[in-house]
Structure formats: C-alpha cells, structure tokens
Chains A and B, each alone.
Chain A
Amino acid sequence: MRTTRLLSLGAVGALSLSACSGGGESVDTGGGGGGGGGGDNVLVAAVSAQPDQFDPHVTSAYPSFQVLENVYDTLVVPNAEDLTMEPSLATDWEVSEDGLTWTFTLREGVTFHDGSEFDAADVVYSYNRIIDEELNNAYRFTTVENVEAVDPQTVEITVSQPTPNLPALIGAFKGMSILPEGAAEEYDLTTEAVGTGPFTLENSDASSTELATYQDYWGGAPSIDGVEFRYITEPAAALTALQNGEVQWTDNIPPQQIESLEGDGAVELATTPSVDYWYMAMNHAREPFGNPLVRQAIATAVDRGAVTEAARFGAAQPNQTAIPEDSFYHYDYAPFEPSVEEAQALLAEAGVQTPITMGLMVTDEFPETVTAAQVIASQLEPIGIEVDVQTVDFATWLDRQSQGDFDAFMLGWLGNVDPFDFYHAQHITDGSSNYQGYSNPQVDELLTQASTETDEDTRKGLYDQAAQLIVDDVSYLYLYNPDVVQAWAPGLSGYEIRADKAINFEGVELP
C-alpha cells in the first residue's frame, strides 16, 4: 500500500517535469488503487539473484549492491569514464603536505530518506561503525587513525602513513555508504534503508525488490517513478522477458547469445571491458610449482585467446597483467607467446621429469572457471602436465584455498578500482590474499613504496615495475578481463554501462 501511494506521488512529480519540458510521455496518475508492483513509469530490471540483505556495511553480495547503488551515497564516487574519484556527498577534498590529514568539505542541503539533515556527524558515525564493529570493510581503514567532525560541513581523516588511495578506499563502492547518525540503533538495516540516494527502498520479497523515486534527492529527483528489480536466475528466461517487454533492462544474458544479439532490433546490447580479472595461481609451497621455471613453462603453454573464447564466448580481453587496457594504470606487458616447444624447454631446464600431475581447483559457483580449466588442461597435456580438474562448491573451495590445500586454482578478483586493489594483498609477502605463497623482496619494496606514493605518475611507475616482476615470476598467471554485458529495451535512455559494474538508474528515462 505504501508503495502505491509513493509511486503516485512520484508520478505527479514526473508530470510537472514533462509539462515544463513541453512534451514527454503522459503518465497515468488517476484511478487510485492500482495493481501491486510496477506502474507505467517504473523501470523493471531483471537481475540474476535476490539480495541477501540491505545493510551496506555488512553485506558482500553483488545482488545487494545492485540495489544499494541506487539508494545510498558515498563521500566520493568513481566517475563512469575512467573510474577516477569525483564529488558525491563531499564536494571537495584536500590532503595536507605530509599526506597525513585529509579534509573533506561536505555538500549542503542533503537530506536522508527519513527527512533528517546530512552533516559531518553522520560521516563520523558511519565510518566508526565499520571500524569499531570490525565490519566487512574495516580493512579499508587500516591506515586511518581518526575520523573527526571539524564543523557540520567538514570532516577530517587522519592517517598513520600517506594513503594516496584513500578516496578510492572510501568511494569505490557502496559498502562505504553514509548512514544517518544512530541508524543501526533506530532501524533494522538488514531490511530497511535510510540513504541519501535517488531512490528509496520500499519493499523486498522473494520475487522482487521495489524502489521509489526520492523527491528530495540532492542531485534532482529521477524522472522515472521507481525501479523494480526482478530476480530471474535463468539467463534464457531473462532475455525472453526483455524481448517480450516484461522487463526493460538486464545484465543476465546467455553468453553464447551475445554475438547473435548484436544485430537484434528488439534489444539494445552494450559491452565494455570490466575492471575484473580472472587468473590461475599455483601453490609455491608444493613442488614442482615452487620453481619459477615450471610456472613460466605453464604460462607459455597456455593460450589465453582460446581460454577466453571457451570461457566467455569471446566476451573478454585476454591480458597478461591484471589491469585492463582502458585504465590509467594499465601496463602493456605480454612476455608469453604460446608455444609448446618453449614450454617443454623450460620444463627441461627446470629438471622436471614429465609426466607430472597438477590438481586444478575450480568452483561451479563461477562456471566459466570450470570451462577455462578444461581448456587449460588440454593445453598443458602436450607438455606432459596432466591436469586433474577438481570442481568443488565455493564454500569448500574457499576452505581449501585458505588451508593451502591445492596445487593450483582459478578465480577472479572483481570490482578493482585502484592498483592497490589489483596487486597489493595478492603479491606482497604474507599478504592477506597471497594464498599462492609468493615472496619477492623486490616486489615487496615496490608495492610498499607505491602504497604511500602520492604522485600519480611515480606511483604508476612503481606499480608497472612490480607488475613486470609478478608476471615474470608467474605469481599469478593472468588470463583475461571479462566484458560487462548488459542489455535494455530500445529507446531507454540516460543509462551508462560502467567498467566497475555499478548499476545506476538515476538518469534513466523509459522509452
């Protein structure tokens, strides 16, 4: 019931807007009552899964963030073109000479969905909640010593060492959202949301999640009346729903059909390389994979083009480093040319008696890893490495990874924005994500230096050098950056596909 009332309120807003612009589509506001869920001017988006919950500081699930992206705001936000940070709830920020004090100037005239005013106390509350309760993203505040409200419009963050990527740490995704002071005590944040974003969370059940337009949104209320996220897990069903007009947007597209959709007039298809990367890692503590020559042999035997074609039906960019081509931090380095002879020579040089067996652990949670592993297995066979593809469920996979119980595994890192996200914890000695057990003092030094370097070009230089060593030593065997693939109804406008897979419907207008 509440949904209906808010939706029709929204429709009035949209009407007056289109009256001003002298045109636009008519919106049916009359009648009262109205069927449940989805009005004429509500965008229906098909997503592949139900959000687990809506507390931005607690969830780690992508389906939740698809919704939260439209409900909450962060101080800064990655820009759609190159993912550099731009203003959101903070209009301006500066860092002191010594790099230890960051000052954020906050936007005025912002209100939360419960009507309360946004100010510095809310930022302090939100960040301290993450830090004090050791929530998911507490690791992002490792260098943060204090968060303080200087005045209602100014927040000061002091850090223990220069942290050039602080804006990326607090802005890269909605896990760092700003809640009103005391929100966790006042609301049940797992089911309710009190953000400052363009839409309010109205209702969520086992079939869909409904958002309504927030009329007092600081960026100007969206022209649509709301968004309905409908969960359609089966890609073929999601695509059918888009083609017959049940939904107007989806990111759940059967990969094998991408090519044939490119000429389809009933569907607008968009792709862009993502900031995700998929890789294979070998256990350096297990012989013979501790020997860099063996790892190089395997890296030489793998044909990334064929892997990409099989795993993603070509909807990906093969890459021998982690950072995709469009990024400022991309480093053009590809030393491995697929060759069986060279790979065999490297194995001989390493003194390895073939045939050997390598267990390759993958998970059906990410079916593309299973396909990729099968291709890799066939590519390693000619050099005398017999790959035993072990498909396990994700929970078991994570257990075995953390126990070091593997010869090799395949997985991806998703949603990386800063080079720190791409390289640091994965390759520094004893890093929290360095499950393969890589250790190179030179890499450690470069990564440590880069993590506090404030000059962008110098920082890029340091990461380039580190990347080169990581690739040469095959700490990770990088495979590809997948494409983001989304589709929508022809005529839908104001939507931008993004490399970080953030789904933002703020500016959307329906056909």
Chain B
Amino acid sequence: MFALVHLVPGDPVRLALGTRFSQESYDALRERSGLDQPLVEQFFTWFGRALTGDLGVSFRSGETVTSQIAERLPATLTLAFASILVALVIAIPLGTVSALRPRSIVDRVATVISQFGISVPDFWMGIVLILVFAGTLGWLPSGGYVPISEDPGAWLQRLLMPALVTGVVSGSVITRFVRSSMLEALGSDHVRTAQAKGLPTRQVFTWHVLRNALLPLVTVTGVQLAYLLSGVVVVEIVFSWPGLGQLALQAVQARDYPVLQGAILLFAVVFLVINLVVDLLYTAIDPRIRR
C-alpha cells in the first residue's frame, strides 16, 4: 500500500509550491517534508510511528493526519448510518413485496425503481434535490454540516438530502438482494413443508423465509456500509459534506502521502471490523453456523 501510494506519478513538492518557484525552494521543501530520504527509509519511519498511533503530518496543511481524520469522522459516520437506514427502509419492504408477488405489477414497479436508483448518477440526483428543496421550495438548506451536539434541528435538516441520495443508491442495490434471497427461501423445501403442515402464512414468513433470507441481506448491507464509511466523494462534494471522501480526494490530488496513507489504513480497518461484525451476526441469525 505504501509503495502503491508513492508509485503514482506526481510530485507533492511541485504541487505545494505552485507554478512559480526556484530550485532552491524546491530542494528546501523536499528536505523539510522528508521526501529526499530513500523510500525504504521513509516506509520504516512511517511504519514505526503508525504502530504508536502517529500517522504523521499532512504536507498540505501541516496538521497531524489523526486530527484531520478525527475532524471528519463524525460527519462520515452520520451520513453512512443515516444512508443505511434509508436504504433498509426502502429495500426490505420493496424487496419483500416483489418477492411475494413475482412478475406482478408491484414487482415490475419495484424493479423499475431499483433500476432507476442504480443507474441515475448520484450527483445529478443531488443537484436536482438542491434545486427543488433548497431553491424552488426553500424548505432545506443547500448543504453543509452541523454537529448534532450543536443544533439537532439544523443537523437533521442538512442530513436529509445527502442521506436520501446515498440511501436510494444503496437501497436499490439491497432491494435486488432481498428479492432474490426471499424468492430462493420461498421456493425451498422446508418452506413447502411448513406450508404443507398448515402453519399460518405469517408464521411461515417470519420464521422460515425471513430468517433464511436475512443472511445475504446482512452481507450486502455490510458491504454497502463499508463503502459508505469510506466516504462518498461525489455526494459529499455536492452537499458540502465534510467527510472522509473529500479528504481522501484532496490528498490524492495534492499527493499528500501521509493523509492518503492514513485514510487508506482507516478504510482497511473499517472493512475488517465490518466483516467481523457481519460474521458475528451470522452466528446470531443462523445457529447452524455456531457449530
């Protein structure tokens, strides 16, 4: 990962200096930022510090990487969990209904909606929402972020539109999984047996269909959540949402290696943790896995 980040062409020193500078200024800044050291040495310095929780200092801002990430983490967590909530609220009813009545009108409408959510570009959806709800109707602010501790009302107002956009996109993906795993569960032998022995439909559905269909749902929700937690750059930009995606993008553009490495490290940890949580949930949902 370290090598990859450094292998990308582009010189952070030249980017930091702008267009007019002297060779002396270039050399001085290169030395100050430690980029004149051999790559292997840079790696071990970075790695040694990272083990103690010190991710270094940003080339661009001179601030520590940990403080930059910590500053943006609340906004990212807020948006990611709100979006997953929106996604599940959309996906579970929609997926279930279309699985219960495959090829019906309801199913077709649900398919069209989820196709729409997947294929419409999120920046376009975001701008349309801004123009309608902030512009024409004037109901919501056009963007920004206010911590919930400061003003819960303002926090919610600003969260609605970005959470809706990312929620619709993730929800559309999840809907399809819900539908297919429900269909599979509905067609399985044990469900037929349950129906045959005369269990009420409701009971068949909750105990025999839903529980079995939950496994793939948890997996895909975990993947979506990990994706949302690593920052949704486009939506963050459209709604001026100060999340990790924007930070990572700026770091890539400025070749700000310390920030980029810190962000990638964090994303890797997020994936590991979510995978672990998903695995633990498996055992809770399906007792067979415990053995």
Binding site for B on A (CB under 8 A): 35-36, 50, 52-53, 55, 58, 60-61, 133-136, 138-139, 142, 188, 190-191, 205-207, 230-234, 236-238, 240-241, 243-244, 246, 365, 393-396, 398-399, 402, 413-414, 425, 432-433
Q: How far is the CA of A230 from the CA of B134 in the complex (A)?
A: 17
- Considering the complex, give the chain B residue whose CB is closest to the CB of A242: B142
**Beta-carbon contacts under 8 Å, B20-44 to A:** 20-25, 27-29
- Name A's interface SS: loop
Contacts of A238 in B (CB 8 A): 142
Contact A138 B240 (CB under 8 A): no
Shortest distance between the CB of B192 and any CB in chain A (Å) = 53
Shortest distance between the CB of B133 and any CB in chain A (Å) = 10
B16 interfacial contact with A, CB 8 Å = yes
Contacts of B12 in A (CB 8 A): 395
**Beta-carbon contacts under 8 Å, B201-252 to A:** 237-240, 242, 246-247, 250
Q: Which residue of A52, A135, A232 contacts B25 across the interface (Cβ within 8 Å)?
A: A135
Contact B242 A136 (CB under 8 A): no
Residues 120-152 of chain B, each 1 if its beta carbon lies under 8 Å from chain A, else 0: 000100110011001100100111110000110
Q: Which residue of B16, B61, B238, B247 contacts A237 across the interface (Cβ within 8 Å)?
A: B238
Contacts of B24 in A (CB 8 A): 134, 138
Shortest distance between the CB of B168 and any CB in chain A (Å) = 18
Given contacts A52-B60, A433-B19, contact A36 B130 (CB under 8 A): no
B284 interfacial contact with A, CB 8 Å = no
- Inter-chain pairs besides A138-B24, A207-B144, A394-B253, 5 sampled, C-beta below 8 Å: A207-B145, A234-B123, A236-B131, A244-B138, A365-B253
Interface size on B, residues (CB 8 A): 53
Q: Which residue of B23, B237, B247, B255 contacts A234 across the interface (Cβ within 8 Å)?
A: B237
Residues 94-128 of chain B, each 1 if its beta carbon lies under 8 Å from chain A, else 0: 00000000000000000000000000000100110
B15 interfacial contact with A, CB 8 Å = yes
Q: How far is the CA of A133 from the CA of B21 in the complex (A)?
A: 13
Contacts of B20 in A (CB 8 A): 139, 425, 432-433
Given contacts A60-B18, A139-B20, A240-B142, contact A190 B131 (CB under 8 A): no
Contacts of A395 in B (CB 8 A): 8-12, 14-15, 253-255
Contact A138 B25 (CB under 8 A): yes
Q: Which residue of B61, B127, B145 contacts A236 across the interface (Cβ within 8 Å)?
A: B127
Contacts of A237 in B (CB 8 A): 127, 130, 134, 142-143, 238-240
Shortest distance between the CB of B49 and any CB in chain A (Å) = 19
Contacts of B142 in A (CB 8 A): 232, 237-238, 240-241, 244, 246
Shortest distance between the CB of A265 and any CB in chain B (Å) = 15
| Most chain A beta carbons < 10 A, residue from B131, B143, B151 | B143
Contacts of A246 in B (CB 8 A): 141-142
Q: How far is the CA of A413 from the CA of B19 in the complex (A)?
A: 8
- Considering the complex, give the chain B residue whose CB is closest to the CB of A413: B19
